[in-house]
């Protein structure tokens, strides 16, 4: 997960000093995108039924995965 406090964020401002854009290192931007994707997946799966670990292992063994 990205540590925004460690990022070197630069702002572009208009003539009134209002922040209008952000400048980030490409690596920081990509990390933020990855975090956003992870959060999206969690939100989409929030209501899915949970499966017990022992049942997952049992299923994997039955299907020859492990």
pLDDT tens-digit readout, 41-59 = 999 999 999 999 999 999 9
Question: What total number of domains does the chain contain?
Answer: 1
Q: Is the whole-model pTM more than 0.85?
A: no
What residues contact 8, with CB distance under 8 A and at least 6 apart?
24, 25, 28
User: What residue numbers bound the domain in which 46 lies?
Assistant: 4-62
pLDDT tier at 29 (50, 70, 90 boundaries)?
A: very high
Contact partners, residue 58, CB within 8 Å, separation at least 6: none
* pLDDT at residue 1, as a whole number: 79
Per-residue pLDDT tens over the stretch 1-11? 788 889 999 99
């Amino acid at each position: 997960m990205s540590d925004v406090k460690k990022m070197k964020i630069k702002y572009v401002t208009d003539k009134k000093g209002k922040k209008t854009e952000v400048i980030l290192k490409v690596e920081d931007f990509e990390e933020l995108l990855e975090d956003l994707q992870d959060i999206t997946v969690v939100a989409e799966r929030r209501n899915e039924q949970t499966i017990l670990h022992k049942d997952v292992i049992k299923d994997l063994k039955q299907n020859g995965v492990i």
